[in-house]
A and B are shown apart, each in its own frame.
Chain A
Amino acid sequence: MSNLMKVLYLEVLMDYNYVEHYELMAALATDPRIIESAVLYNFVDDQMYAALMDRMSQAFSDGSPSPLSSRSPGSGHSILAEAVIHIQSLQAHEINLMGYLVWIQLYRMLGVEIASAEYPVINLVFKRTFDAINSNLLAQIPLGTEIRSTIDPSLVVYTIETAEIMGQDVTVNVPARLNRRGTILDLRIGEFTDLPRLLAFVESVTNDGVVYSQGREKETLSLAMLRGREEFRIGKRCVTLSDYYTTAMQVVGAKKCNVVRGYQYGTSGTFNDLVTVVIYPGEMTTIADAAIRPRSMEDDRLSIIAAEIIPIDGDMTIRVVAHLSDNQAFDLAAQAIIDKVNPPSGIWQNRNLADTLVDAIEQVEGIYAVTQIHLKNSLTNVSLENIEVQPWHLFEIKDSFNIKIIRN
């Protein structure tokens, strides 16, 4: 066995993670365009057995026949040869498996790391005693205060910030982490109320059901591979507008995104060095900012804003086939609007919303014409023609939209 083989073999012996290995191989096998790999240690049992039996049946140098010339599988030397080949074959299989640690090292070389497990973080509400409020006494909650679950005795949370209740405040919110890693499964509101050590001027503590972070299990090899591929595809920087788009959609996980150069939210004019990233849903803007800003170019100014959704209602008359009931026709039209017009579908800065809407509805089987349509902003009652549409605008047809159905 060569030195390289020995190293490889030891590495294999170090960690047998068959499940991860086969999961990774299965993930690779789903993509038929990936280059096939040759088998590292090619070992065919039948051929090796036949070769060994051939060698044993060779005549001796003095011409006398070999005593091991029988090919019968009942003979003793055949049983022995078979056992040897079988053990060699098992070893070959082991060498062909690449160990978990080897994969991790390969991924590390490429810059991908296995994301480790994370603790879930929940919110705790500490309440100050009535006396302390009256006497204007400060209640302090130190870092690492332990609060036990009243349901599961092994479950404990620790505060991860120092907090104080002062002035006229009654309560304070403090984030706390659980004592186990992995995703949180069933958290009951009011579960964490047991303070094993009394805190001065603190009357009670409870969890109000707010979960800051769900926690995370350790990443598997196949997930790391997929994440790594995405990272290689876009790199870790945003240069072109499509880089911004891909980062927002795949790294941040936005449902819809628009990237424009030159427009600034709230003002008119052209700004050549400004990139504006519009994110839908708007709650993800902060996360998107944290993810995209470190990747942007130094010369580019960056603005990350939430999508503005213009609520639309109005009325529309549709012609349907005779056998369709009013309810059925309405449901079909509503489904077409949800699928094709309302966010996260729909088009950014849609200057032809009426056309888009008519196209979506006329594609439905059973509705063959939209005879009349009128659209307006449902809050301000401004007609659609008078709305100045901007790149950060999305339209949403509200349920107050009136659909009139006629048939003939």
Chain B
Amino acid sequence: MNIVSGTRKITSDILTVCLTRKGERPLHPTYGIAPELFEPLSNYAPQYWIYQISQEILNWVEGIEQLSVNTFDYEDYKNRLGTEISFIPQNVPDVNVLTFGFYEYQGAVWNQSLDIFMDGVALNGSRFIFP
């Protein structure tokens, strides 16, 4: 059994919130923040989007002491947005940085290239294998 704990568990929970669409979970219909399949990135101002996603993560993921969300590689016309989530767990006082291409997930679902998408998910600079 692959039991996840500690920092890896928090990382996994953050990723699950980010990659689940609202309404996907029947008993938690408000859970998740993944974009709609055809939702354009230009719908959001990144500043507002950063605030919204950090609120969602703090709401659903337990054991986070501090959280900050940033974007990189933001290109509206290519519908591309890299996400950098830094968090400090409550138990282990060190900073962890999770990065992934948020809107690439749309394309991964659409093109069924989830493996390629998962290759791009990195925790502290090294590839994070989604449990």
Chain A residues packing against B (C-beta within 8 Å): 45-46, 49, 67, 70, 72-76, 79, 82-83, 85-86
Task: Say whether chain B's binding surface is mostly helix, strand, loop, or mixed.
Answer: loop
Contact A74 B12 (CB under 8 A): yes
Indicate whether A67 sits within 8 Å of B25 (C-beta atoms), given known contacts A72-B61, A74-B17, A74-B61.
no
A-B contact pairs, 10 of them (CB 8 A): A73-B25, A73-B60, A74-B12, A74-B13, A74-B60, A76-B131, A79-B25, A83-B26, A85-B26, A85-B27
Indicate whether A72 sits within 8 Å of B13 (C-beta atoms), given known contacts A67-B1, A67-B3.
yes
Contact B62 A82 (CB under 8 A): no
Task: Say whether chain A's binding surface is mostly helix, strand, loop, or mixed.
Answer: helix
Contact B27 A49 (CB under 8 A): yes
Chain B residues packing against A (C-beta within 8 Å): 1, 3, 9, 12-14, 16-17, 25-28, 31, 60-62, 131
In Å, the complex CA distance between A86 and B24 comes to: 12
Which A residues lie within 8 Å of B62 (CB)?
72
Which B residues lie within 8 Å of A85 (CB)?
26-27
Which B residues lie within 8 Å of A74 (CB)?
12-14, 16-17, 60-61
Which B residues lie within 8 Å of A70 (CB)?
9
In Å, the complex CA distance between A83 and B26 comes to: 8
In Å, the complex CA distance between A70 and B131 comes to: 15
Contact B31 A73 (CB under 8 A): yes
Q: How far is the CB of A141 from chain B (nearest CB, A)?
A: 66
In Å, the complex CA distance between A69 and B47 comes to: 36
Indicate whether A73 sits within 8 Å of B9 (C-beta atoms), given known contacts A67-B1, A67-B3.
no
In Å, the complex CA distance between A236 and B44 comes to: 71
Q: How far is the CB of A343 from chain B (nearest CB, A)?
A: 61
Contact B25 A82 (CB under 8 A): yes
